[in-house]
Amino acid sequence: MKRVLVTGGAGFIGSHLCDRLLGGGWHVICMDNLLTGSMRNIDHLLGEKDFEFIEHDVSKYIEVEGDLDYILHFACPASPIDYQKLPIQTMKVDSLGTLNTLGVAKAKGSRYLQASTSEVYGDPLVHPQPESYWGNVNPIGPRSVYDEAKRFSEALVMAYHRTHAIDTRIVRIFNTYGPRMRIDDGRVVPTFISQALKGEDLSVFGDGKQTRSFCYITDQVEGILKLMESDYHEPVNVGNPGEFNMLELAEIIIELTGSKSKIGFEPLPEDDPKVRCPDIALAGEVLGWKPKVHLREGLSKTIDYFKEVVS
């Protein structure tokens, strides 16, 4: 039986990865300090004989007994409201945490996958963004604690790959949504859904013409696992290239929830990207992957989940 360590395994994407891996016959060790993760996301797994939960901060020394075939490093605050509230912890988890997990991979001969982000492209001057684009990032702005931490973690992973021959992978995750997102994490999909379900105005920043692409969680997990099993070592974008502006997203969510909410406008946050859309040609070429779930279908499933969460 293959054994895998998933850091950040009680988080949104991490918990869905734990589900899939456990369902695929793996022994899953979930590690999380619950800073932004939640036991609610993994409660249903706690009775499974091949699931372990370890409450631990990966920026501190890591000790895991036994062999480890794979390490998936997903620990990190991942929304602007979180990493701006927790700037030092965010930088620690993607520097010290990446260093510590790579050390475990080196010691145990594990294959290693780093969760990076489309934020490495910053406010891009190239659209859509291919992996070859080096980005346009403000290194001292309010988003830099996340953007630069992820850029550093990618450099560290590649250094371990080149220097110690660690079998590494890097996934650049674009906007992902679905059940188990925190309603208060500040990202646009849970924010809009929560506001619509409560009958509040939907908070659109700027003029609402800035665009994002939205990948449903099942598609994202499939892409990540295909990368994990591939032989490709350099970064790969995993996201949905379908592009929507914020006004379009707000209107779709109002329609799907049947809400009486209206749209309200607020100032655009500093360094907020104007566009964000993945070029997924490489994922298609090396992974044979492309997303399948349309935005309306994914949003309907996500809304059903949040109807149980929003009081």
Cis before 128? omega within 30: yes
Rounded distance, CA 4 to CA 13, Å? Answer: 15
Percentages helix, strand, coil for the chain, rounded to the nearest 5? 40, 20, 40
List residues bridging with 71 in a β-sheet: 5, 112
Backbone angles phi, psi at 6, to 5 degrees: -115, 105
Query: Cα dihedral sign for 237, 27, 97, 44?
Result: positive
Rounded distance, CA 8 to CA 116, Å? Answer: 13
Contact 180, 190 (CB under 8 A): no
List residues bridging with 170 in a β-sheet: 114
Token pair, residue 287, equals 């992974």
Token pair, residue 2, equals 């293959």
Rounded distance, CA 105 to CA 113, Å? Answer: 10
Rounded distance, CA 70 to CA 92, Å? Answer: 22
Which of 112, 146, 160, 177 is catalytic? The answer is 146
By three-state DSSP, how is residue 258 classified? coil
Token pair, residue 83, equals 């990493």
Rounded distance, CA 203 to CA 118, Å? Answer: 23
CA atoms within 13 A on the CB side of 249: 28
Token pair, residue 168, equals 């590494």
**Residue 70 known to be catalytic:** no
Known catalytic residues are 146
